[in-house]
Amino acid sequence: MNRLRVLIVDDERLARTRLRRLLAERNDVEVIGAAEDGDEAVSMIDQLRPDLLFLDIQMPGLSGFDVIAAIRGAPPFIIFTTAFDQYAVRAFEVHALDYLLKPFDGERLHPAVDRAIALIRGARSTSQERFLEELTPKSIERFVVRHAGRIVFVAAEQIDWIEAADNYVYLHAGSESHLIRGALKTIESRLGPGFVRIHRSAIVNASRIQSLKPLSHGDYDVELLDGSHLTATRTFAARLRETVSPR
| C-alpha radius of gyration, the chain, whole number | 21
Question: How many domains does the structure of the chain reveal?
Answer: 2
Q: pLDDT (tens digit, 9 = 90+) per residue, 197-210?
A: 999 999 999 999 99
Threshold 0.95, pTM exceeds: no
* Helices H / strands E in the chain, number of each: 8, 15
Quote the CA–CA distance of 87 and 55 in Å, as a whole number: 13
Q: How many CB atoms lie within 10 A of CB 126?
A: 10
195 against 120, higher pLDDT: 195
- Are 90 and 202 found together in one domain? no
CATH of residue 209's domain is 2.40.50.1020
pLDDT of residue 123: 57
- Are 130 and 156 found together in one domain? no
- Are 178 and 117 found together in one domain? no
| pLDDT more than 90, % of the chain | 45
Cα angle 160, 164, 166; round to 5: 155
Q: Residue 120 belongs to what H/E stretch?
A: helix 106-123
Residue 134: which pLDDT band, with cuts at 50, 70 and 90? very low
In a domain, 223, yes or no: yes
Burial state string for 154-188 with b = 16 or more CB within 10 A and e = fewer than 16? bebeebbbbbbeeeebebbbeeeebebebebeebe
Q: pLDDT (tens digit, 9 = 90+) per residue, 56-115?
A: 998 888 888 888 888 877 788 899 998 877 666 666 666 678 888 888 899 999 998 998
- Are 124 and 191 found together in one domain? no
Residue ending a domain, among 83, 109, 135, is: 135
In a domain, 141, yes or no: no
Residues 6+ apart with CB under 8 A from 175: none
Cis, peptide link before residue 103, omega less than 30° from 0:
yes
Residue-number span of the structural domain to which 192 is assigned: 152-244
- Are 21 and 112 found together in one domain? yes
CATH of residue 122's domain is 3.40.50.2300
Residue ending a domain, among 105, 135, 165, is: 135
- Are 199 and 231 found together in one domain? yes
Q: State the DSSP string of 147-205.
A: ETTEEEEEEGGG--EEEEETTEEEEEETTEEEEEES-HHHHHHHS-TTEEEEETTEEEE
State the average pLDDT for the chain: 85
pLDDT of residue 90: 67
